[in-house]
Amino acid sequence: MDLAGLGFALLHRFRARHDPRDLDEAVDVLRSAVPAAAPGFERLACRSDLCVALFARYQTRDTRGDLDEAAGIARTVSPADAPAGVLLNFAHLLDERARTAGVLDDLDLAVDLVRRSVAATETPRPPVERPHGYLRLLADGIFDDGAVRREPTLAEVLHLLGAYLRRRFAWTNVLADVDEAIEVARRLVAMTGGEAGHTRALATLSFTLKSRWLEARREPDLDEAVATGRRALAGNPEDPGLAVALSDTLKHRFDHHRAGHDLDEAIELGRRADGDRAPEAFGNLSALLRARFDRDRDPADLDEAIGLGRRAVEAGRDDAFDQPARQYALARALLA
């Protein structure tokens, strides 16, 4: 058995038995495989395999050094002619470090690697000829042990590119990123087949249009976000997340135009999602009822808004990034 095959076998056994010694040995073996590999794709694949093993150990033990080593490898590779899946491995590692350590340069490189992955997916190429395939990452860790040779589809890679662009836009507020993310979302709407994929693409487009409107105040974006959100909800009327998303978009349009029918529709949608019992659903409906109280001064709306605000705070985790916003919204309702 070659070094890569031994490393894969050790990772298999680690996943079955959770013996940390197998994971440590897999990292050591795959690290040794890199200099022993032939230059070109084989060495690049070995470096990718090592990064996946390091990432698995980072996830298991929260060992920052493993993530730093893997990200360091990802930053130095030459991605020319690499398969899309290998490029995505490196992108996932860099994105993880960008999110956990606040390294914007890592996110910039991750975006570039996913763009290259889009190009690689659009260019027909023969399947990877490697006895064990290669390890593959998703955001939540190892998902493909090499036995499945399928490369990511164009839709999968575009979804990831859009997510990275939206994340960078939220970080930097550079409109070029959200502009590109919208074009990516439009491609996905045009190409996705099946109800679930098409609904997801519509929901993503609606959210991204709303994000650009919030930053640039381009009015057609808000109207299209509402229309696209309605199409998404029509594709899956029972999804509370889609109802909350459309409800929030309608509230933004109400805040902008003060059209009462937008607020009424938003509240109706918020009530549909209330059974989800998620803090987002409670908080959304609370904000809507507070807005109607400000307009109509009906004490029943304020009482219900306060009750829902309390439920949102109770349902939210204390360490959640948006928990302070829920607490602040409740305090404002109590002081109204």
Domain membership flag for residue 160: no
Contact at 8 Å (CB) between 209 and 222?
Answer: yes
| 145 and 20 housed in the same domain | yes
3-state secondary structure 220-263: HHHHHHHHHHHHHHHHCCCCHHHHHHHHHHHHHHHHHHCCHHHH
Answer yes or no: is 157 within a domain. Answer: no
Instruction: Output the tens digit of pLDDT for each of the chain's 336 residues.
Output: 688 889 888 988 998 899 999 999 999 999 999 999 888 888 888 999 999 899 999 989 988 999 999 999 999 887 777 888 889 999 999 999 999 999 899 999 999 999 999 998 888 776 666 656 667 776 544 444 444 456 788 988 999 999 999 999 999 999 999 999 999 999 999 997 767 789 999 999 999 999 999 999 999 999 999 999 999 999 999 999 999 999 999 999 999 999 899 999 999 999 988 776 788 889 999 999 999 999 999 999 999 999 999 999 999 988 888 889 999 999 999 998
CATH code for the domain in which residue 285 is found: 1.25.40.10
50 with 190, same domain: the answer is no
Nearest CA-CA partner of 41 in 86, 76, 75: 86
Q: Are residues 117 and 198 in the same domain?
A: no
User: Which distant-in-sequence residues (6+ apart) come within 8 Å of 16 by Cβ?
Assistant: none
Looking at residue 192, what is its pLDDT?
Answer: 73
Compute the chain's Rg from CA coordinates: 23
Residue 163 included in any domain? no
> How many C-beta neighbours within 10 Å does residue 65 have?
10
Residues 142 and 195 in one domain: no
Domain contains 18 = yes
On whether residue 146 sits in a domain, the answer given is: yes
Same domain, 212 and 248: no
> Could you tell me the pTM of the whole model?
0.87
Please check whether residues 250 and 334 belong to one and the same domain. yes
Q: What is the model's pLDDT at position 214?
A: 95
Single out the residue in 201, 221, 237 at which a domain terminates: 237
Tell me, what's the pLDDT at 12? 85
For the chain, counts of helices (H) and of strands (E): 15, 2
- Structural domains in the chain (count): 3
Among 152, 184, 206, the domain-final residue is 152
pLDDT of amino acid 133: 67
Structural domain for 135, as ranges: 3-152
* Domain membership flag for residue 136: yes
Do 232 and 103 share a structural domain? no
Q: Alpha-carbon torsion 129, 131, 133, 134, what sign?
A: negative
Please choose, from the candidates 95, 80, 18, the residue with its C-alpha nearest in 3D space to the C-alpha of residue 44: 80
